[in-house]
Amino acid sequence: MKKIFLSACILLAVTQITKAQKGFKPLFDGKTTTGWHTYSKTTVGSAWQVQDGTLHLDPSKKGQDGGGDLVTDKEYSNFHLKLDWKVAPKSNSGIIFFVHEEPKFHATYSTGPEMQVLDNDGHPDGKITKHRSGDLYDLIKSYSEPVKPVGQWNRAEIISKNGKLTLILNGVKTVNTTLWDENWKTLIAGSKFAKWEGFGTYKTGKIALQDHGDEVWFKNILIKEL
């Protein structure tokens, strides 16, 4: 009876996971960097290592080809992105979206807004408002800070549909706003991006994982087009 009960519990858990992931497709297969490339290049920088089912940015592995932000080969407009991340002590990174890859834009963050990934207590950015984990970087401070301690995995979600943007960290909504309206323009005007041509204006773009020169891991990267 105990074995039957345990089997039923496992089956229920698998069914719930399957339902939860229905419609989602992997952006990372856990084995290769297929579907990704370094921004403005055709290959992936040597600092990005695939290890134990994770994408690991290891600054010590930077060779001549360096690291650089990873971007998806494909562009997205309405989407629900899920991924897990963790950082090493004093590390900084980010998840950037609506990235417009064009030579005149020197970096992913030239055009794409960012969900901050950070060691809040160990990195200097943690002392800056709107620069902490779960924030919409330099634009909107998160409602709460459900981030887990350094070294533990966090689940981030970014949902964008018809201009409505929601950021979720560990199941808690941290940001909710509308893109591209007058309020959005006001937010940008009051940020470090005020004079950046093209920032926050594109309604379709690539998703990026930031190389800020610090050690960070990503896994279970899934997306559903809405």
**Per-residue pLDDT at 3:** 52
- Alpha-carbon distances, residue 159 vs 3, 30, 135, 210, 212 (angstroms): 40, 23, 14, 19, 24
Query: Using CA atoms, how far apart are residues 50 and 168, in angstroms rounded to an integer?
Result: 26
CB atoms within 10 A of CB 87: 26
- 24-225: what fold? Jelly Rolls (2.60.120)
Model confidence over 192-224: pLDDT tens digits?
A: 999 999 999 999 999 999 999 999 999 999 999
What does the domain layout of the chain look like in residue ranges? 24-225
Calculate the average pLDDT of the chain.
92
Share above pLDDT 70 across residues of the chain, in percent, rounded to a whole number: 90
Structure confidence at residue 9 (pLDDT) = 42
User: Does position 6 have pLDDT exceeding 70, yes or no?
Assistant: no
State mean pLDDT over 151-166.
98
Q: Residue 15 above 60 pLDDT?
A: no
Model pLDDT, residue 22: 86
Helix, strand or coil, per DSSP, at residue 125: helix
What is the per-residue pLDDT for 10?
42
71-97 tens-digit pLDDT: 999 999 999 999 999 999 999 999 999
Give the per-residue pLDDT at 7.
47
* pLDDT tens string 92-129: 999 999 999 999 999 999 999 999 999 999 999 999 99
The pLDDT > 90 percentage for the chain reads 86
Q: Quick check: 171 pLDDT over 70?
A: yes
* Torsion angle defined by CA atoms of residues 10, 146, 217 and 223, in that order, rounded to the nearest 10 degrees: 60
Decide if 178 contacts 160 (C-beta within 8 A): no
Q: Supply the pLDDT for residue 17.
A: 44
pLDDT band at 64; cut points 50, 70, 90 = low
